[in-house]
Amino acid sequence: MNGRGVIKVRNFGIVFKTIYKESIKTKSFLSITIGLVLLSFLLFASPAIISYFDKNKPADTYKIVNGTNLPLSVEELTNLGGEWELAKPDNINSLKEAVKNEELSGVFVLDEQPNQIQLDVYMPKVNQKLLLTLEAYLEQTKLVSLAVTEAIDPAVLQSLNTPVLSHIQPLYETEPNAMLIVYGLIAIMFLAISTYGNNVATAIASEKSSRVMEVMITKVAPIPMMYGKILGIGLASLTQLFSFIGSFFVWSNLGIFKAPEGSIVQTIMDTITWEMAAYIFVFFIIGYFIYATLFAIIGSMVSRPDDLSSATMPIVIILMASLVVEMLFVMDYPEGKVAMISSYIPFTAPMSVLIRIVYHTISPIEIAVTLSVMLLFIALFAALAARIYPKGVLKSDTLTFKQLIQFNR
């Protein structure tokens, strides 16, 4: 490496370290990072917290007024949940007042109607699960009573009353809660790319508008400066992301809280392995670098940070469109044509490939190919940025792509 190359590498290192240190020292960075760590802690602690409050919560109490001939059993009603008591039909108004005063959790009134039984429910907030269970119990009691009256064979009655049991089976070789993990990964990637990509554009536009860029450009070449900013802010975003993921490994290895089987926390622990963490790292870096390079070019074109909102709108629209494609097509159909095609488009590939990895619908060969495609596009974007960025940062006014192209001829 010649002397000029050594200077460029050193200048890049100086810009990279400076931008990274400045990014991680901001109050917003520290507060968000602490918030993410606390969020991971709450996710692990939530089952224990919910269990604690449920244990100390007084039992729900219900009263039921039976205005029919159905033989209701307090023991069978208690099996539905809560504490039950049969009440007389002459004090319904006082029972309703008890519900209003939170002395009772609910009151149910059974009334005989022509050809049917009516159930009136008095609850401040209807417990749908309890209501469905109670209705099923009343139907069963009605059938048993009818069988006794009409002398129907109990075996026939049991056969007629046997419900159809539905079991939802996963289409793909993954946990049922994995969709929630995918939603979380996409949301984090979308927010990180949009936030930190915009930070790159804002940093460049601010330096350009304050004329600091003209002083810096005499000390540091434009290209090392641009990539130093992109990678410095990118490393800061990765620090946040992996502080969140790393805290999950810490809480799981410490064993302070036991995650219930089938819970979202248990699914996260089973899904985000070291291999998955490596995939998240790689595709997060690639996705960020693709968009951050475009944000850097836009930041070099505007004359002041106030113009960024309109200038970066095309990039935001592309990012939003990518998110819509993931949500509407790739999430529900990870083996569909849209998922396969979007895996090779640089703007959608990072999210699409991660989804397909979680659902085990992509082969290692496809991962290697899509990585090659994305790296090729990054090289093209870098070549484009190398031609546009130096011209843009030296112009004090806002430029268009047409003007930049003319400058590079």
CA distance 113 to 310: 66
pLDDT of residue 385: 73
- 37 and 127 both lie in a single domain: no
> How many structural domains compose the chain?
2
| CA 23 – CA 231 distance, rounded (Å) | 11
The span from the CA of 351 to the CA of 280, in Å, is 10
217 shares its domain with 147: no
Residues 192 and 295 in one domain: yes
pLDDT at 2 over 60: no
Phi and psi torsions of 65, nearest 5° = -100, 120
Residue 174 has pLDDT above 80, yes or no: no
Average confidence (pLDDT) over 146-162: 66
Q: Is the pLDDT of residue 224 over 60?
A: yes
> Which amino acid is it at 51?
S
The enclosing domain of 73 has a CATH number of: 3.40.190
From CA 265, how far away is CA 73, in angstroms rounded? Answer: 39
Q: Do 97 and 227 belong to one domain?
A: no
Are 262 and 139 members of one domain?
no
Residue 374 included in any domain: yes
pLDDT of residue 365: 92
Place 178 in a pLDDT band, splitting at 50, 70 and 90: low
pLDDT of residue 157: 62
For the stretch 316-329, pLDDT in tens is 899 999 988 988 88
Question: Which is more confident, 107 or 175?
Answer: 107
Please check whether residue 287 is in contact with residue 196, taking contact to mean a CB–CB distance below 8 angstroms: no
Across all residues in the chain, what is the average pLDDT?
77
| Per-residue confidence (pLDDT) for residue 130, from 0 to 100 | 84
Question: 366, 401, 365: which is closest to 385 by C-alpha?
Answer: 401
Q: Which two tokens stand for residue 105?
A: 């959790």
Q: Does residue 181 share a domain with residue 240?
A: yes
Which amino acid would we find at residue 50? I
CB 105 within 8 A of CB 61: yes
Instruction: Pick 192 or 261 by higher pLDDT.
Output: 192
Phi, psi of 61 (to 5 degrees): -120, 135
| pLDDT range class, residue 51, cuts 50, 70, 90 | low
Q: Are residues 185 and 323 in the same domain?
A: yes
**Residue 165 domain-assigned (yes or no):** no
Instruction: Answer with the one of 160, 182, 211 that is the final residue of a domain.
Output: 160
pLDDT at 211 over 80: no
Percent pLDDT > 70 in the chain is 72
Residue 23, number of CB atoms within 10 A of its CB: 22
Range of the domain at 27: 3-49+173-407
Instruction: Please report the pLDDT score of residue 341 as a whole number.
Output: 92
**Residue 55 belongs to a domain:** no
Domain membership of residue 56 (yes or no) is no
What is the pTM (predicted TM-score) of this model?
A: 0.65
The more confident residue out of 236 and 8 is: 236
Question: What's the pLDDT band for 250 if we cut at 50, 70, 90?
Answer: confident
CB 122 within 8 A of CB 107: yes
Element (H, E) at 355: helix 349-358
Residue 307 lies in a domain: yes
Assigned token pair, 143: 């059938």
Residues 39-58, mean pLDDT to the nearest whole number: 68
pLDDT confidence bin for 177, thresholds 50/70/90: low
User: What are 109-115's contacts with CB under 8 Å, separation 24+?
Assistant: 109/64, 109/65, 109/67, 110/64, 110/65, 110/66, 110/67, 110/68, 110/70, 110/72, 110/138, 111/67, 111/68, 112/67, 112/68, 112/69
Q: How distant, in Å, are the alpha carbons of 180, 354, 366 from that of 248? A: 16, 19, 29
The reply to whether 54 falls in a domain is: no
- Three-state SS across 203-271? HHHHHHHCCHHHHHCCCCCHHHHHHHHHHHHHHHHHHHHHHHHHHHHHHHHHCCCCCCCCCHHHHHHHH
Q: Do 127 and 190 fall within a single domain? A: no
Q: Are 67 and 111 in contact (CB under 8 A)?
A: yes
* One domain, residues 134 and 273: no
**pLDDT level of residue 167 (50, 70, 90 thresholds):** low
One domain, residues 150 and 218: no
Could you tell me if residue 87 is inside a domain?
yes
Q: What is the pLDDT of residue 262?
A: 57
Domain boundary among 107, 133, 160: 160
User: Tokens 């070291």, residue?
Assistant: 274
CB atoms within 10 A of CB 135: 11
Average pLDDT over residues 98-127: 83
Interval 251-286: pLDDT, tens: 767 766 666 565 666 666 666 777 877 888 888 888
Residue 166 in any domain: the answer is no
83-87 and 106-113: which strand pairing? Answer: unpaired
**104, 134, 160 — which closes off a domain?**
160
CA distance 244 to 34: 9
Do 70 and 28 belong to one domain? no
Residue, of 158 and 181, whose pLDDT is higher: 181
* 304 and 400 together in one domain: yes
Top pLDDT among 14 and 285 is at: 285
pLDDT tens column, 92-108: 888 888 888 888 888 88
